[in-house]
Structure 1
Amino acid sequence: MQSSSQDHNRSLILETAKTLLRRFGVDKLTVMDIARSLDMSHANVYRFYKTKAEILDAIIDEWLLKVESFVENIAQRPVSATERIEAVVLELHRKRREKLLEDAEFYETYRRVIELRPDVVAKRREKIHNVFKKLVEQGIESGEFTSAAPEEVATVLKDATSLFLHPLLIPTCLNEDTEPRARAVVRYILAGISTQKPKLSPIIDGVSNAATNLIQ
């Protein structure tokens, strides 16, 4: 029962912190604000989270877990590795664009938090890299891809799709129709390792097939 009560209090603190982040922003939010909103002493808040930074870390971890779950669900679909890799990029890109358009205040809070914590961005990029690597390995096992180096292909995919997936970069191209470009980037990279060379459409908006040469 005590553990359940502690989990409940932790959850209350995090939900309150997220609400107040919208109102005050990351820089102005204090533990006192959270305690006041919950009608508890700040000492009680410190029983569960030692610092404001620890509260922010918990919120970031929660966000990252949601992204990981979203991506993992796509990665487990019963379709080809090519389709799953493309879906990871397009659907995550679409989800983040929609969040930014629907709730700019929340997105700005999220952007500001991760801006203060570059290590979080590195952790996120590593997760995406590992998903790409796993899917490339599965494509090799099924005969869909040649025996390319999964680590290198995953790195190229991660770097080449940063514009479409990185939370700090998505706002820079919000007024552009970026989905066709994201699709083209993925398809041109995967064409370089496909055992069945697809007939590709013309390069969109300057997307270069030089990326495929990096992994051949």
Structure 2
Amino acid sequence: MNRPVRTRTDPVEMRARILDVAEAHFRRFGSQKTSVADIASELRMSPANVYRFFPSKGAITASICALAVNELAEIASTIAQSSAPAPEKLVRLLTAVHHHGKTTLVKEKRMHDLIVAAMRENWAIIKAHIERMLTIFEAIIREGIEAGQFKVEDPAEAARVVNTAFTAFLHPILIEHRVQHGEDTEAGLREQIRFSLKALGKPD
């Protein structure tokens, strides 16, 4: 008599399923109001089984945050790898990141709050994200220097300056502050972009 073949759940697949459910709950109820028991119930398993794949709720939360910021970094990376001239890439990147932040604030407030919490608490994923964005800025600026489109000596330093100059338009907390006070962030962003391109030595 043949015995039924037991199949093991693939750990990678199971982690992905847990994160899918957790993300859906976070978007609907917020991370603070979502428990491991809620996630387990949706998956029809015990909380103990969830803990086999994630050591804590904090680990799940950090993974969801990583997915969110990686989505933003991928947008920036795609723009950086396009065939557009460096100044155009920089404009498109800064505009896209700002719009993404505003859209998340308006349409995905609970995810916005999660990222804000991660930034306030200086999570490792946020540090890694900032470094990745600086690397993307630097690559675009170096490309512009080599093409004669920018006239600065140190692309790494210029990347840090650009990042600082646009903090008010890229940082989730500051975006929320400006929106709450009814500021025209689009006009401010365009003005800052014009100023920064001149500072980078873009020919008229």
TM over 0.5: yes
Q: CA deviation at 1:195?
A: 5.4
Structure 2 stretches lacking a partner, 5+ long: 1-6
Q: Aligned equivalents of 2:73 and 2:85: distance in 1?
A: 20
Which among 97, 102, 106 is matched to residue 102 of structure 2? 97
Instruction: Tell me which amino acid in the other structure corresponds to 1:48.
Output: F
Q: CA deviation at 1:190?
A: 2.4
Which among 189, 193, 204 is matched to residue 196 of structure 2? 189
Which among 27, 30, 48 is matched to residue 25 of structure 1? 30
SS at match of 1:168: helix
Instruction: Tell me which amino acid in the other structure corresponds to 1:86.
Output: V
Instruction: Tell me which amino acid in the other structure corresponds to 1:40.
Output: M
Which among 7, 16, 20 is matched to residue 11 of structure 1? 16
Instruction: Tell me which amino acid in the other structure corresponds to 1:57.
Output: A
Percent identity over the alignment is: 29
**Conserved in 1, the CA contact under 8 Å of 2:70 and 2:129?**
no
Q: Aligned equivalents of 2:95 and 2:168: distance in 1?
A: 12
Which among 120, 131, 141 is matched to residue 115 of structure 1? 120
Q: How does 1:119-198 map to 2 (within 5 A)?
A: 119-174=124-179, 175-194=182-201, 196=203, 198=204
**Conserved in 1, the CA contact under 8 Å of 2:152 and 2:158?**
no
TM-score using structure 1 length: 0.81
Structure 1 stretches lacking a partner, 5+ long: 199-216
**Conserved in 2, the CA contact under 8 Å of 1:125 and 1:158?**
no
Q: Aligned equivalents of 1:169 and 1:47: distance in 2?
A: 38
Q: Aligned equivalents of 1:116 and 1:35: distance in 2?
A: 27
Which among 11, 33, 42 is matched to residue 37 of structure 1? 42
Distance 1:195 1:51, change over 3 A: closer
Task: Please report the RMSD computed on the Cα atoms of aligned residues, expressed in angstroms.
Answer: 2.2
Instruction: Tell me which amino acid in the other structure corresponds to 1:187.
Output: R
* Count, aligned residues: 196
TM-score using structure 2 length: 0.85
Q: CA deviation at 1:147?
A: 4.3
23-32 or 38-47: which moved more?
23-32
**Conserved in 2, the CA contact under 8 Å of 1:26 and 1:112?**
no
